[in-house]
Structure 1
Amino acid sequence: MITTTHRTFGQALLAAVIFAGCGVSQSKPDATKTAAAPAAAVKTFRLEKTIFSASLRMPGELQAFQHVDLYAKVNSFVKKLHADVGTNVKAGQVLATLEAPEMGSQLSGAESRLRSAEAVYLASKANYDRLYQTSQTPGTVSQNDLDLALARQKSDYAQQEAARAAYREIADNRNYLEIRAPFSGVISARNVSAGAYVGPSGKGSEMPLFTLQEQEKLRLVLAVPEAYSAYLREGAEITFTIKSMQGQEFKARISRQSGALDSRLRSQRIEMDVLNKTKTLLPGMVAEVNIPLATADSVFVVPATAVASSTEKVFVIRVRDGKAEWIDVKKGRDADGKVEIFGPLQQGDTLLEKANDEVRNGSAVAIKG
């Protein structure tokens, strides 16, 4: 009995040792799997400098080259209108005739006061002239009487000139009863009819009598963002299209730049003169403007895919001695799949064509043939 039990215990112990040995054998690493992973194969290109010509497309607005609202200078009534909406007028042409009956009597009164002042002056002048001639004989006229006569003559002359100025003022105001075109253009708005009471803005009519616009020459106005303002060149030719005129392209040249940035939009106002003899284009139209942005100096230009962005930086990947280097850069203009970059790079550097953060900084890379 004892012998059988002892044999059974020995068999169990042997089985435990064999099982333990098998477990230890399975935990050993496979030496064939510890070899280093091969370097990633990538496509590269040589960094070169070139003249980068891009263009900026943005909306602009066509405006009349000259635009004016015409008001009455004096309180009056509209007697007759000589122009209406759409009328082409020439500079100096009479657009409306006004009437103010009280101005006739005011002018007559001013004329009478002028004539009276002239008569008084002539009398005082004649008196002084006589006293002066008499004073040539010693002892006949005292010097005090002669000085008083001269002072009276000067005073009467001043009164005459004041009356003349008052008369001229009323006469000039009477000329304002004719509303004339200050320049050639088209009447784009008329806000009164014959018989209407008109006057300066806020005194009789809030709205102008007419709105006059010059349309044979227009201004194309747009606001260029600060980032692109340095590339603008006065005299540069631009092209633009109008949505309502499909298939037509128009040309103009940059004529004026404001030279300052708008405090709200951080943009610069630029203007282009547009000849419009046929009046095909109208003020208020929105244009799609194509502005060339060319530089005189060569810059680094790379494919857009060569620039990668992460949450922390914008970078390109340079290959040097078989390893990848992340190089921080700043992006400039972009066009047609190309982008302008600035950073600590040199001409001839080897960059990845397709950069991404999967190619880690310092990792081994192999260049594809």
Structure 2
Amino acid sequence: MKNKLLKKSFLFLVLATVLTACNSSEKKKIASVETSPVIETFTISKEKLTTELRIPAELAGFQQVDIYAKVSSFVKELNVDIGAQVKKGQLLLILEAPEISSQLAAAQSRELSQKAIYTASKSTFDRLFETSKIEGTISKNDLEQAAARKNSDYAQYLATKSAYKEITIMKSYLVIRAPFDGIISARNVNLGAFVGPSGKGSELPLFTLQQQDKLRLPVYVPEIYTGYLTIGDELIFNVKSINNETFRAKIARMSGALDNRLRSERVELDVFNKNQKLLPGMVAEVILPIKSKDSNYVVPKSAVVTSSDGVYVFVIKNNKTVRTPIQKGRELENRVEIFGDIPENSLLVKMASEELKDGTMVK
């Protein structure tokens, strides 16, 4: 009887010990969960991030040319002044070079003289040729010499004719006309002034002619953004000297190569300026919309940690933080585009920092 009581007491003691151990382990689990830090999380999702880039640029005339004198001469007649609107082919000024006139007269005299010599030698050859048809009248040698003389005189005649034409062309340079429609934006010459080719008679051009009804806006786009633009895209820009007004222009040309110094691509916009409100030389600020072609992960900036160990985010797996390396893309205000091996609909820590350890339990 006494042994039975001892056995029952022992079994009761063992059962109490087991129950106590179970209760203590459960309490520890609950305590560990309760003591885990409360961390704010969010579900990652993909979207197309649209940003904009502001780049300074300078307006220029669609066509612009500095007009110099082709030959050394004097200004005889001046027909336009600064600010004048001219049409293509309109007379701008007339130059005078007396030596060219005398050269032209001498060249014309040489041409007429050589033409007469050629006419005489040709006539002689023609008579000898007709006579030679009667056998034994003209020797073959005499006929060949007459033909050679005629050909030589003809070559000399062509040379003098070309010389006369060359001087005629040089004289035509004394009359300067507008190569295209535009506005005279600079004038550096007066009546009677001696002018000539650049670096000789004139250090400055006679005129600067600009086409202003259509302007050219070159923009240098950084390498990282060149893939977001195509020909035909419409861009917005504004000019500091014209407040509260925006202008639109389309991309007309892209260089297709990067500038070695700037590591950027030259993109040109055609700006139609019929009212001539915009002027060449104005500084513009061009707004480039950077639109993603594909959807990518976009997260708050606070979720990305940048440290000496690299760039990473914390993904929640099995209630624990897992450090996951990523690459950053474009940034917009408080959001950033990221790339990495992250499954869709994953939970990420919203307020990440270097103090947060890998494998931290998350409540």
The alignment's TM-score, normalised by the length of structure 1, stands at: 0.87
1:75 aligns with 2:72: yes
1:213 aligns with 2:210: yes
1:253 aligns with 2:244: no
1:76 Cα deviation (Å)? 0.1
| 2:130 partner SS | helix
1:13 matched residue in structure 2:
none
Deviations 1:81-132 (A, max 9, x none): 1111111111111111110111111110000000011111111111111111
| 2:244 partner SS | coil
1:119 matched residue in structure 2:
116
Q: Which amino acid counterpart does residue 173 of structure 1 have in structure 2?
A: M
2:322 matched residue in structure 1:
325
CA distance in 2, matches of 1:202, 1:59: 34
1:200 matched residue in structure 2:
197
CA distance in 2, matches of 1:104, 1:149: 36
| 2:153 partner SS | helix
CA distance in 2, matches of 1:199, 1:318: 76
User: Alignment RMSD, CA only?
Assistant: 1.6
1:5 matched residue in structure 2:
none
CA distance in 1, matches of 2:323, 2:218: 43
Tell me the percent identity. 51
Deviations 1:258-279 (A, max 9, x none): 1111111111111100000001
The alignment's TM-score, normalised by the length of structure 2, stands at: 0.88
CA distance in 2, matches of 1:148, 1:338: 95
| 1:41 partner SS | coil
1:301 aligns with 2:295: no
> Which of 144, 153, 158 is 2:155 aligned to?
158
1:340 aligns with 2:352: no
> Which of 135, 138, 149 is 1:138 aligned to?
135
CA distance in 1, matches of 2:233, 2:301: 27
1:104 aligns with 2:113: no
Runs of 5+ in structure 1 lacking a partner? 1-31
Q: Which amino acid counterpart does residue 78 of structure 1 have in structure 2?
A: V
CA distance in 1, matches of 2:66, 2:253: 24
1:314 matched residue in structure 2:
311
1:227 aligns with 2:229: no
Relative to structure 1, the CA distance from residue 312 to residue 285 in structure 2 (aligned partners, 3 Å threshold; closer, same or farther) is farther
Runs of 5+ in structure 2 lacking a partner? 1-27
CA distance in 1, matches of 2:360, 2:68: 77
Q: Mean Cα displacement is larger for which, 87-96 or 49-58?
A: 49-58
1:311 Cα deviation (Å)? 2.8
1:286 aligns with 2:283: yes
Aligned residues, how many?
A: 333
1:182 aligns with 2:179: yes
1:355 aligns with 2:358: no
Q: Mean Cα displacement is larger for which, 330-339 or 36-45?
A: 36-45
1:336 Cα deviation (Å)? 4.0
1:338 Cα deviation (Å)? 2.4
